[in-house]
Amino acid sequence: MRRTTVLRAALTGAVLLATAAAGLSGGQATAATPSAPTHGLPAPSAAGAPASAALVSALRHDLHLTERQAKARLAAEASARTVEQAARKAAGAAYGGSWFDPKSDALVVALTDDTRRTAVEATGARTVHTRHTESQLNAAKDALDALRAPKGVSGWHVDPRAGAVTVTVVAAHKDDNDVRTFLARARAAGPVTVEETRQAPRTLAAGTVGGDPYYTGNVRCSIGFSVYGGFVTAGHCGRPGMGVSGWDHSYVGTFQGSSFPDNDYAWVSVGSGWWTVPVVLGWGTVSDQLVRGSAEAPIGASICRSGSTSHWHCGTVLAKNETVNYSEGAVHQMTKTNVCAEPGDSGGSFISGDQAQGVTSGGWGNCSSGGETWFQPVNEILGRYGLTLHTA
């Protein structure tokens, strides 16, 4: 008998009254592990409130903020998500990218044409001058994507703060001949900066461990977000036609679509009595979080991750549109964060406030010593498969 049988009546009533639909972000209510406390649906945030008290507490712990700072930051980030859309439109062809600045609690927009400054600042954003447009930087990154990268190069992304494409190399391999050759070719393609990392990224699937959300064969991964008919997760966790079992090893559903490498996303249809609600599990660290949409958070914004191994952790968005060079092949259009993760967290939820952001792909480090983790943006996955996110 599935764990959610006991919760079904209470959750169904809450869903019908508060959300009108069910869908577990990153999975179903049934996907919680037996050892993890199940809180049901969290109460909706009060009108105008940026987040629940539990989320504020998580940001205080992981970002080392006071309660007042955490609340102010979440409110400012929610505003920045809206401002970013208007500012991009106002900047037009002069748009050089944007990011959230936690020191000023404002969105910063880079412009190549100062005549657009007044229009952009009217949206509520700050502006800075830059030499290259986002389109020019994207073209330079596309040129790098066409190159074959050595293992010593862990990835590259468009960096609006640097006004360049930032290439990340593993420190131990920075002087390798093939790394130097790649960097020379990269610089010929456009403006490039180089940064170092301690380790190369890896995907975060894991072997079978008892009490975890879902399995494909002997691989354990984590559920990302519920969609109508199933959930989205990481592509390296399974291939189309593969069956999925839940924490109790009962049949859940089947991988309907999957892409890895090049992309790292998939979706799984669910049935056999499994059901979904628009929730991301807080694993007892915070209350389970309602999902209300998928508005994209800007660079610099706070973000939290839920996964079956390391559970709930928070950090910030470091970069977008990054190409990550895994040993299995390059994966494109990823978002980089300084949130930690561990094997088994693959496919799990990244959420900013109450907005779904993406599914965990891979990273380096762990949640004892720290590290970096990448996710595949959820809106790309929804568009690729024609799915609709379950929201509260």
Check which CATH number belongs to the domain holding 219 and give it: 2.40.10.10
Average pLDDT score, the chain:
84
Task: Report which of residues 80 and 19 the model is more confident about.
Answer: 80
Q: Is residue 257 part of a domain?
A: yes
Q: Is residue 140 part of a domain?
A: no
Q: Has 264 been annotated as catalytic? A: yes
Q: Find the range with the poorest average confidence among 41-50, 345-354, 375-384.
A: 41-50
Q: Is residue 218 part of a domain?
A: yes
**Domain limits for position 225:** 1-82+192-392
Which listed residue (39, 132, 157, 236) is catalytic? Answer: 236
Q: Is residue 244 part of a domain?
A: yes
What is the pLDDT, as a whole number, of residue 232? Answer: 95
Q: Is residue 183 part of a domain?
A: no
Q: Has 101 been annotated as catalytic? A: no
Which listed residue (25, 52, 346, 361) is catalytic? Answer: 346
What is the pLDDT, as a whole number, of residue 54? Answer: 72
What is the pLDDT, as a whole number, of residue 20? Answer: 30
Please check the confidence at residue 183 and state whether its pLDDT lies above 50: yes
Split at pLDDT 50, 70, 90, the class of 194 is: very high
What is the pLDDT, as a whole number, of residue 112? Answer: 97
Residues 126-132: contacts with CB within 8 Å, 24+ apart? 126/101, 130/96, 130/97, 130/160, 130/163, 131/163, 131/191, 132/96, 132/163, 132/164, 132/190, 132/191
Split at pLDDT 50, 70, 90, the class of 258 is: very high
Q: In total, how many domains does the chain have?
A: 1
Give 331-354 pLDDT, tens digit per residue: 999 999 999 999 999 999 999 999
Q: Is residue 23 part of a domain?
A: yes
Q: Is residue 155 part of a domain?
A: no
Q: Is residue 115 part of a domain?
A: no
Please check the confidence at residue 296 and state whether its pLDDT lies above 60: yes
Residue 372, C-beta contacts closer than 8 angstroms, at least 6 positions apart? 197, 201, 318, 336, 337, 338, 339, 363, 364, 365
Which listed residue (62, 159, 212, 264) is catalytic? Answer: 264
How many CB atoms within 10 Å of residue 36? 19
Split at pLDDT 50, 70, 90, the class of 131 is: very high
What is the pLDDT, as a whole number, of residue 250? Answer: 82
Using a pLDDT cut of 70, give the percent of the chain over it. 85
d(CA 333, CA 310): 25
Task: Report which of residues 76 and 52 the model is more confident about.
Answer: 76
Mean pLDDT along residues 264-283: 87
Mean pLDDT along residues 265-277: 86
Q: pTM score, two decimals?
A: 0.76
What is the pLDDT, as a whole number, of residue 205? Answer: 57
Q: Find the range with the poorest average confidence among 66-80, 90-104, 141-155, 276-290.
A: 276-290
Please check the confidence at residue 206 and state whether its pLDDT lies above 80: no
Q: Has 113 been annotated as catalytic? A: no
- Whether residue 335 contacts residue 362, with contact meaning beta carbons closer than 8 Å, is answered with no
